[in-house]
């Protein structure tokens, strides 16, 4: 690894499409989704500081929540948008951080392997992001009727983590407005490498996403525990 890797996790969503409490604070596997997401990075051997950006009203509760779960992360006040929250997180990372990943708070099914592959791609190319190729047929629709079929060859659905060298990402955040880091980097003229993601790395947004997450979690924990045991000889099963 060529330098210290830091992670920024914006966690300011209100969860309007899911309803009820903000989705990042709902319990999944006995812990808030945010805790499960942060834990995936905090346990990763290639990852250094993790910064979580939350609304000012939630900062103390979030700090306590992470401390109670034994998960180490620096919690800061975010902005009014995802982009501004990431910018706040970037500013809070230690100066020694050279590579930065940005990850959605409500993508708890991020594997250690995917994190590693994005880190390697960033260090080799300067910027990279996880995505999965589109498998479904795509069509436009107007006035309630289907229109043109859209070719899906070469079309990818974006995921996170997305990342870049810190200096590049800081420059991108001063350049324009976009929905994710890839959009900002592209507007700055920075090519971004594709890292094939995982269909299970879902963003928990809707009630059906939540139902899928609850069904998947026990299987996910069993798999990740088995992988960790193989990686650490002598670990009890």
Burial (0-12, 13-18, 19+ Cβ within 10 Å), 101:
buried
Q: Both tokens of residue 25? A: 């604070």
> CA–CA separation, 226 vs 223, rounded Å?
5
Torsion angle of C-alpha atoms 43, 113, 88, 31, degrees rounded to 10: -50
For residue 226, what pLDDT band results from cuts at 50, 70 and 90?
confident
Full DSSP string of 26-78 = SEETTEEHHHHHHHHHHT-TT---EEEEE-GGGHHHHHHHHHHTT---EEEE-
Q: What is the pLDDT of residue 176?
A: 78
96's torsion region: left (phi>0), alpha (psi -120 to 50) or beta?
alpha
The domain ranges of the chain are: 4-128+160-231
pLDDT tens-digit series, residues 111-141: 999 999 999 999 999 999 999 999 999 999 9
pLDDT, one tens digit per residue, over 18-31 is 445 678 899 999 99
Q: What percentage of the chain reaches a pLDDT higher than 90? A: 84
Q: What share of the chain has pLDDT > 70, as a percent?
A: 92
CATH code that applies to domain 4-128+160-231 = 3.90.550.10
Residue 18, pLDDT score: 47
Exposed, middle or buried: residue 124 (CB in 10 Å: 0-12, 13-18, 19+)?
exposed
Residue 16 has pLDDT above 60, yes or no: no
Integer angstrom CA distances of residue 119 from 35, 72, 124, 161: 21, 20, 9, 9
Q: Which residue has the higher pLDDT, 108 or 227?
A: 108
Q: What pLDDT, in 10s, does the model give residues 80-113? A: 999 999 999 999 999 999 999 999 999 999 999 9
With the C-alpha atoms ordered 177, 187, 34, 202, is the resulting torsion angle positive or negative?
Answer: positive
Whether the per-residue pLDDT at 186 is higher than 60: the answer is yes
């Amino acid at each position: 690894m060529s330098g210290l890797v830091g992670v920024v996790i914006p966690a300011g969503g209100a969860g309007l499409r899911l309803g009820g409490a903000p989705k990042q604070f709902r319990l999944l596997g006995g812990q808030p989704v945010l805790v499960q997401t942060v834990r995936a990075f905090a346990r990763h051997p290639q990852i250094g500081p993790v910064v979580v950006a939350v609304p000012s009203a939630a900062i103390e509760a979030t700090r306590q929540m992470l401390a109670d779960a034994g998960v180490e992360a620096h919690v800061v006040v975010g902005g009014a948008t995802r982009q501004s929250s990431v910018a706040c997180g970037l500013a809070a990372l230690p100066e020694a951080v050279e590579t930065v990943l940005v990850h959605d708070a409500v993508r708890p099914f991020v594997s250690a392997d995917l994190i590693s592959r994005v880190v390697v791609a960033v260090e080799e190319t300067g910027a990279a992001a996880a995505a999965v190729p589109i498998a479904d047929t795509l069509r436009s629709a107007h006035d309630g009727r289907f229109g043109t079929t859209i070719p899906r060859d070469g079309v990818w659905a974006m995921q996170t983590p997305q990342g870049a060298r810190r200096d590049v990402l800081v420059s991108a955040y001063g350049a324009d407005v976009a929905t994710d880091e890839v959009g900002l980097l592209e507007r700055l003229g920075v090519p971004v490498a594709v890292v094939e993601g995982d269909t299970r790395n879902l963003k928990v947004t809707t009630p059906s996403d939540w139902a899928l997450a609850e069904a998947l979690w026990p299987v996910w924990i069993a798999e990740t525990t088995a992988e960790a045991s193989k990686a650490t000889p002598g670990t009890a099963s």
